Structure 1
Amino acid sequence: MTRYIIRRIFQLVPVIIGISIVTFLMMTLVPGDPVVLMLGQHISPQTVENVRHGLGLDQPMLTRYLQYMWNALHGDFGRSYIQHQAVSQMLLDKIPVTFRLTVVAMAIAVTFGVLIGILSAVKQYSFWDTLATFFAMTGVSVPTFWLGMMLQLLFGVILHILPVSGTGGEGFHLQNYLLPGFALGYASMAMYVRLTRSSMLEVIRQDYVRTARAKGLSSRVVIFKHAMKNALIPVATQAGMDFAGLMGGAILTETIFSLPGIGSMLYMAISRRDYPVVQGVTLFLALVFVVINLLVDISYAVLDPRIRYD
């Protein structure tokens, strides 16, 4: 196991480097001059050149990339062209909001998705199975922005039950994350319903499950103690990838619900050509994605003792 983990860690290095190169090239070759966006259209060419020189944008592309990666290895992702703050500090300020939103979205998606999927598999071809299938189809069809606005209208404007925007101040206020968490995790929830259903249907037909039933164990014990553990292996795989994906895909949700997280920061940085912020956020999300995938691979051995990495 230790050898496998070390090998996988070394495999992460070229992935991170590749992502950094692609991001750097995209932000460098995209039309638009960040200096002009900062200073405006009516600034003298000499001033533009001076600012470009001060930011190092007049250096060769390879030199800028190597300098950026060297600084990034030391935790320095540069300074925002627009806000004139260290990108690393901006990330530290925004990460808690996005992390809380992602955790709430994942908790809603996995909990309800797995339970509904198990119910659908156990009650195959019943009314509950049909209802779960309909739920899964709508989940992958409904746009996140539309669902978010409908949730705001229903629970915030009409029923006045939950807040529709903001984080509620310092600290973690669950009520402020329920609506955006549901909107963000709804599509994943529908996917977990289908994934859990198909996996559970396969597992409950295995010999060891039939043996457990033959021993006289109750259906609840057979499903939740014997079958569910193995049925959750593909769910765990998808959940690992989803967590990082939701962190990077929360742009619309954070914008709709006015949450000051990484998603909204990335959106503003892209629109303003704030290269250091875009690159810093992208590298951070890439690192989160590959680390979570590593943890998911390790969790296989916990969920299924038959899996070994020797």
Structure 2
Amino acid sequence: MTKYIFKRLIGMIPTMLIIITLSFFIVRIAPGGPFDGERALPEVVKRNIEAKYHMDEPLWQQYGRYLFDVIRGDLGPSYKYKDHDVNYLIFNSIPNSIILGCIAMAIALIFGVSFGIIAAVKQNSVLDYIPMGIAALGLSVPLFVVGPLLQYIFAMKLGWFPTSGWFSEGLGWKTIILPSIALSFAYYADIARLTRSSMLETLRSDYIRTAKAKGMRNSVIIFKHAMKGAMLPIVSYLGPAFAGIITGSIVVEQVFRVPGLGKFFVQSSFNRDYTLIVGVVIVYSAILIVMNFVVDVVYAQLDPRITYK
């Protein structure tokens, strides 16, 4: 296992190198630039700005300089946010995205696994149809509809929560609830459906029949025996889902005015802010790769039949 972990850690290096390389060249090949605007800059001014940021050098030389800076942990200056560099912008906003993502994932896991188990145990009953009906809504209704709907009902009509804002701005902990619920909705749907189908399959397996024949209580069979096997697909799903719930929070962050990384990702795309775009892609990719690695390790711990050589 230790050898496998070491190989996977080493394997992350070329993966990240490919991501950095592709991101660097794709944003520069695309038409437009960070200093293009409605009114063209004088040619002398534009040349001076490009010289300041080394953009007058050949592309391969710019890539080598940027790669060396990234290895040192420097994601470069922002071409639009002149007061701060990319490191400052990303690492002061990503904690908010991670907090939002972790709370949303916790909500999705708690309710998704709970209702998925209930739906499997009470198959073809009201306790099966209602959670799966809500899951179907979660899969079909997009976030830009769920967010404003929650704002309209719980903020504007009932007045229970603020319409937007974030607790770090001094607006209170209630600002976390609506965006977390909105973001968790689609992931609840996936987890509930996965849990139900996996639990149904596990409950029909031979070792569960043997446990029932021995006279074990249903609660012991479900939580001690069936649940461990049924959780394997959920664990596999959690790796990309956790990365996705952070990267996919862009819409929710915009709707609820959460000062997360999504704001900079959207604005940097419109502004053609090369270094900020690539910096955000690097951070998102690193989260995805690390979470997939963690899932593989946890998967082996849950299922002793799985070995990594």
Question: Which of the five TM-score ranges fits, normalised by the shorter chain?
Answer: over 0.9
Partners of 2:165 and 2:171 within 8 A in 1: no
Determine the C-alpha separation between the residues in 2 that align with 1:54 and 1:237.
Answer: 46
Show the counterpart of 1:282.
281
Identity %: 39
Determine the C-alpha separation between the residues in 2 that align with 1:265 and 1:74.
Answer: 22
Partner amino acid for 1:271? F
Paired residues for 1:169-188 under 5 Å = 169=168, 174-188=173-187
* Aligned-pair CA distance for 1:139: 1.0
Show the counterpart of 1:53.
51
Partner amino acid for 1:207? D
Determine the C-alpha separation between the residues in 1 that align with 2:248 and 2:55.
Answer: 29
Give unpaired runs (5+ residues) of structure 1: none
Paired residues for 1:40-189 under 5 Å = 41-84=39-82, 85-169=84-168, 174-189=173-188
- Paired residue secondary structure (1:176): helix
Show the counterpart of 2:262.
263
Q: Which moved more, 1:107-116 or 1:213-222?
A: 213-222
- Paired residue secondary structure (1:82): coil
Paired residues for 1:198-217 under 5 Å = 198-217=197-216
* Aligned-pair CA distance for 1:171: 8.1
Partner amino acid for 1:3? K
- Paired residue secondary structure (2:154): helix
Q: Deviations over 1:190-231 (max 9, x none)?
A: 011111111101111122212222222221121111111111
Show the counterpart of 2:195.
196
Instruction: State the Cα RMSD in Å.
Output: 1.6
Report how many residues are paired: 308
Partners of 1:36 and 1:48 within 8 A in 2: no
Distance of aligned partners of 1:234 and 1:82 in 2 relative to their CA distance in 1, 3 Å threshold: same
Show the counterpart of 2:242.
243
Q: Which moved more, 1:283-292 or 1:168-177?
A: 168-177
Show the counterpart of 2:307.
308
Determine the C-alpha separation between the residues in 1 that align with 2:187 and 2:73.
Answer: 33
Partners of 1:165 and 1:259 within 8 A in 2: yes
TM-score, reference length from structure 1: 0.95
Q: Deviations over 1:224-281 (max 9, x none)?
A: 1111111111101111111111111111110000011111111111111111111111
Q: Which moved more, 1:129-138 or 1:159-168?
A: 129-138
Partners of 1:144 and 1:184 within 8 A in 2: yes
Distance of aligned partners of 1:32 and 1:242 in 2 relative to their CA distance in 1, 3 Å threshold: same
Partner amino acid for 1:47? V
Distance of aligned partners of 1:171 and 1:3 in 2 relative to their CA distance in 1, 3 Å threshold: farther
Residue 5 (str. 1) matches residue 24 (str. 2)? no
Determine the C-alpha separation between the residues in 2 that align with 1:197 and 1:80.
Answer: 47
Residue 19 (str. 1) matches residue 19 (str. 2)? yes
Q: Which moved more, 1:211-220 or 1:67-76?
A: 211-220
Determine the C-alpha separation between the residues in 2 that align with 1:292 and 1:172.
Answer: 31
Determine the C-alpha separation between the residues in 1 that align with 2:101 and 2:68.
Answer: 30
Give unpaired runs (5+ residues) of structure 2: none
Determine the C-alpha separation between the residues in 1 that align with 2:301 and 2:42.
Answer: 63
* Aligned-pair CA distance for 1:293: 0.4
Q: Which moved more, 1:77-86 or 1:10-19?
A: 10-19
Partner amino acid for 1:31? P
Determine the C-alpha separation between the residues in 1 that align with 2:63 and 2:214.
Answer: 65
Distance of aligned partners of 1:116 and 1:157 in 2 relative to their CA distance in 1, 3 Å threshold: same
Distance of aligned partners of 1:17 and 1:172 in 2 relative to their CA distance in 1, 3 Å threshold: farther
Q: Which moved more, 1:25-34 or 1:154-163?
A: 25-34
Determine the C-alpha separation between the residues in 2 that align with 1:266 and 1:113.
Answer: 29
TM-score, reference length from structure 2: 0.95
- Paired residue secondary structure (2:204): coil
Residue 36 (str. 1) matches residue 56 (str. 2)? no
Partner amino acid for 2:32? G
